[in-house]
Chains A and B, each alone.
Chain A
Amino acid sequence: MTNSIKNFSYHRKNGRRRVHPLPRTLPNNARYKTRKVKSQLKQNKQINTAALSVKQMFYILLITAVGLICFYQKSIKIYWQQTYHSDIALSSSLSLLPADKGENQLSSDNEASQGNGSEDNYTSLEESPKLNVKDQTDKPAEKSGLKQDQLHSSLSKEIKRNSIDASVTAGVQADTNKNHDKKYEDKNREKQTKSQSATTTVAEQKPIEKNSADHDKKTTPNPHIEKGSETQPVLLSSTLATPSQSALAAKSVTTKSPESSTSKQRILPEPITLTAQNKVFFAGDSLMQGVAPYVKKILFKQYKIESIDLSKQSTGLSYPSAFNWPKTISEQLDEDPAIHLLIVFLGANDPWDFPVKELGNKYVKFKSELWEEQYRLRIKMILNSAKEHNVQVLWLSPPCMRKPKLNEGIIYLNDLYQSEIREAQQHFLTTNNLLGCTYDNFSNFITTDKEKIKVRIDDGVHFTPTGQKILANAIMEHITIKEVEGNNSD
């Protein structure tokens, strides 16, 4: 070997150790000396340090691991939930509560969250099982007997009622804040009744309904809701709501107008218009993390419009304990009144079972009625926050996925999003056609006559930069930028 190579690899050669006497003081600042001394230090360390036996090392590793797991139980539980969509062995034994305890816990949760009117809440809960004896549904998640079913059905009714009430009160609040005339109020109420009917009609039409019995049961809740609405509404999903929203819902005493005839005409949403003073808010998961920077650049480069990107990987609406989008969006909209457009891109991390706190953290099966109701509520909360702040929403549909199970879940979520967005009269942007695929036929590429453009990376989920740019351009096409002088420009 040549000298230069020998010198170069002298201190890095594996397996050959030479011991030199260690100098008493460490010289500073001289590059070559320090390197020599450092390697000498290492060599001496090997001789002087007391060797740990394997058993001792195993003890160290095990105790360290156990200690960290104890300290970070909660984080590990959330991580496990998100990754494996089920309860970790540790926590399931703690959260598995018997049926009667579950009900008590439910009521105590409500008392804690409500503050005022807790008696009414308790009364309404007690009343609802009587009303819902006929309305028992057998959900796969609920394995125990009658009480659980009652709990479930009462819960599902409350959630439906709350979602409607919340959106109504949000609409009312928006009216008083923004000084709209009465026409808007009436329109709102009509929308809510339509949304209720739309929910039921969409639910009935969905191919996911397996039993005709389920179909019948879906129509029966409506008369019960009318009866129940005279009492104080119970916001069971208060963990998801921000304090402002829960306060709104708790304080309001609303009388629900009976369901009117369903209108099949779809009112088109108002076009998205921005000025240079407006801001855009991006919310979503890792797919949005890829697309948002491109839109941000175009908005700033061409129109000097600022934007906020809070998108975060592995997030969705299914696991609020890991990341709570309704709350985050609401807080951000409260904080920044300049936001005029909210662009949402979620879904890819959602099509799995998730725990429902009101049921003692039991997991509800994906696509079950309760799952759907919970999920729709979360979508509604985002849309209501936006409406409250007079913010327009552009919701991107989750695209086709390579993995069949994920793809099926996405198709279902897409229907949910589409129905909710249409009810709220906001903008829904389908992405499959932009990416050259359909839900039935996944492809990494857009195929044209001239070329095949790769838009999805190898994992069959995320986009290539080209794909991200295509989506960014499509988003920009939906936005009209108004210059201050009043001239429109796209």
Chain B
Amino acid sequence: MSYLSIEFGLLFIAFFAIYWCFKSQPKWQNRLLLVSSYLVVCSYSWQFALILFIYTSAIYLFSLLIFDSKRYGKQWLIISLCVAMLNLAVFKYFDFFRYELQLLLNALNLPILLPVISLVLPIGISFYTFHSVSYLVSVYKQEIQPTKFADFALFLSFFPSIIAGPINRAKTFLPQIVIAQPRQMLEPHRACTLIILAVIKVYCLGGLLADNWVNPIFANPMEFGSLDLLLGLYSYAMLIYINFSGYTDLVTGIALLLGFRLPINFNLPYLAVNLRDFWTRWHISLCLWIRDYLYIPLGGNRKGFTRTQINVMLAMLLSGLWHGAGLNFIIWGACHGIGILFLNITARYWGADRVTKHSIWLARIFTVHYVCLAWLFFHCESFTDAMDYLMALLHNITIHNDYLAGMLSICLLYFCYPLLKNVPDRFAQAISKINYFYLPFIFIFILWVVIHFAPSGVPNFIYASF
């Protein structure tokens, strides 16, 4: 069930009413949340819910073993992490590796036909696997104690963040679940602002970008002039940001209405001055997870310059692979890895942030262009498609450009972008001063205008497929 559908909207309002009837009993609220989270997963497929339940039980068992065992805690941790990763790998990557391995076997003329297992990717598996890893490591480090099974099950299945949600950390999220005092609705005006912003971003802006620019230009790049192709890149970069940040805003708003605080995921990523800065602004929860559970355990930057670069490259490659089972994602990760490597090497020999110190805007433009080029590999499923696009970009200078107006408006928007960052906060402040009675009418007006300009069809969340 898409969270931006009428069905979900109406069900959520009903759920909201029932949920807050149990205001004085957080335990009942938790039970309600658990049941409804599993129902959301079941709406995709009951098998996904079963897989989630079995996985939850297995990880919970491991966490108890880690906690209780004095001598073999580390070994249990390693085993449990392997089980978690294997579970993810089998569902997500079996077919990809089987295909690549089969190609290799064919190339070597070995008459082996690898078995084909038709596995459907369970919804949210990438996200709840990472949640469970943070839980296991926190239990091992004794940052938290193992909670009750129901609370842990809720932690893994919490419906706002299971689909493509921010990656929660056990030590910050579990205390919100295992709360003794009654919950409060958090920042209701901001929550409303975030939900309205989500509708504007995903439904209206995302839909318009996809229909008018991204899809036509990417469908046949060779027909378009270089400026149009550049516009295609920019608009895809905008689309993926709007789509993902809109989704994050929606689930953050929903969680606030239920009394939960989710970690932030975005901080104006296209204003980053270099690639390192970009990764502190884009999908922040994933970046922090990779840093804490991959980069630092590999040694981080404490084992010499060369080893640091290897660690960075590995982290970026695995980040790419996490997004999907495809060579194009690995290439995308490699592009970012190479970029950061380049940055580190130039920083070491010629000083850090030289371009930034010279001109912030120049640094931003370099960074955003590099990121847009990397997004090309994210979008194009095959390497040849991406290469076709690049060749067309370089060679189609003489072809007439159809979307010059679009190009100008995007450039203008980029330079106005810093001015937009306070708009949601100001809006939330403004509506907090208005009597609640009139708020629905303001919201109806805004949403009516937004939906009026939006193209038809329910948009899908790009990151829900990862």
- A residues whose Cβ falls under 8 Å from a Cβ of B: 8-9, 12-15, 26, 29, 31, 34-35, 38, 41-42, 45-46, 49-52, 54, 56-65, 67-69, 71-72, 75-76, 79, 292-293, 296-297, 300-301, 306-307, 309, 312-314, 322, 444-445, 450-452, 454, 458, 465
Contact = CB atoms under 8 A, between A and B. Distances in A.
Contact of B261 (A15, A71, A72, A451): A15
Given A15-B261, A65-B10, A58 B432 contact: no
B290 to A, nearest CB: 14
9 contacts: A15-B176, A42-B190, A45-B187, A49-B432, A58-B17, A63-B440, A68-B444, A72-B451, A301-B222
B106 A50 contact: no
A51 B444 contact: no
B261 A54 contact: no
A60 B185 contact: no
A71 B445 CA distance: 10
Nearest to B288: A9
A52 B185 contact: yes
Contact of B189 (A52, A79, A306): A52
Contact of B436 (A26, A59, A292): A59
Given A57-B188, A293-B219, A12 B284 contact: yes
B409 interface: no
Overall SS of chain A's interface: helix
A41 B425 contact: yes
Interface in B273-325: 280, 284, 288
Interface centre among A13, A52, A67 (most CB of B within 10 A): A52
A67 B113 contact: no
Given A58-B20, A296-B220, A14 B188 contact: no
Contacts, number: 139
A59 B436 CA distance: 9
Given A15-B172, A458-B121, A451 B219 contact: no
B264 interface: yes
B420 interface: no
A71 B106 CA distance: 59
Residue among A51, A64, A65 facing the most chain B CB atoms (10 A cut-off): A64
A67 B172 contact: no
B325 to A, nearest CB: 11
Q: Which 3 A-B pairs have the closest CB atoms?
A: A63-B440, A67-B444, A49-B432
A128 to B, nearest CB: 38
Contacts of B284: 12
Interface in B308-363: 360
B118 interface: yes
B448 A451 contact: no
Contact of B6 (A35, A76, A297): A76
Contact of B13 (A15, A31, A56, A62): A62
A12 B17 contact: no
A383 to B, nearest CB: 26
A35 B432 CA distance: 22
A451 B264 contact: no
B415 interface: no
Nearest to A69: B6
Contacts of B32: none
A313 B457 contact: yes
Given A300-B223, A451-B113, A60 B192 contact: yes
B13 A58 contact: yes
Contacts of B441: 63, 67
B366 interface: no
A64 B10 CA distance: 11
Given A12-B284, A15-B261, 18 more contacts: A13-B172, A14-B176, A38-B422, A52-B185, A52-B189, A56-B436, A57-B188, A57-B257, A58-B17, A59-B440, A63-B441, A65-B10, A67-B444, A68-B448, A69-B6, A71-B444, A71-B448, A451-B113
Contact of B425 (A8, A12, A13, A38): A38
Interface string B86-127: 000000000100010011001000000100101111000000
A292 B219 contact: yes
Interface in B198-223: 218-220, 222-223
Nearest to B221: A297
B142 interface: no
A457 to B, nearest CB: 9
Given A49-B189, A54-B23, A79 B6 contact: yes
B457 A12 contact: no
B393 interface: no
A236 to B, nearest CB: 27
Contacts of B429: 45, 49
Contacts of A293: 218-220
A458 B120 contact: yes
Of the candidates B13, B432, B440, the one having the most CB atoms from chain A within 10 angstroms of its own CB is B440
Contacts of A68: 444, 447-448, 451
A452 B118 CA distance: 12
Contact of A52 (B10, B99, B188): B188
A79 B103 CA distance: 44
A15 B6 contact: no
Interface centre among A34, A292, A296, A297 (most CB of B within 10 A): A297
B163 to A, nearest CB: 16
Which residue, A49, A58, A72, has most C-beta atoms of chain B within 10 A?
A49
Nearest to B9: A65
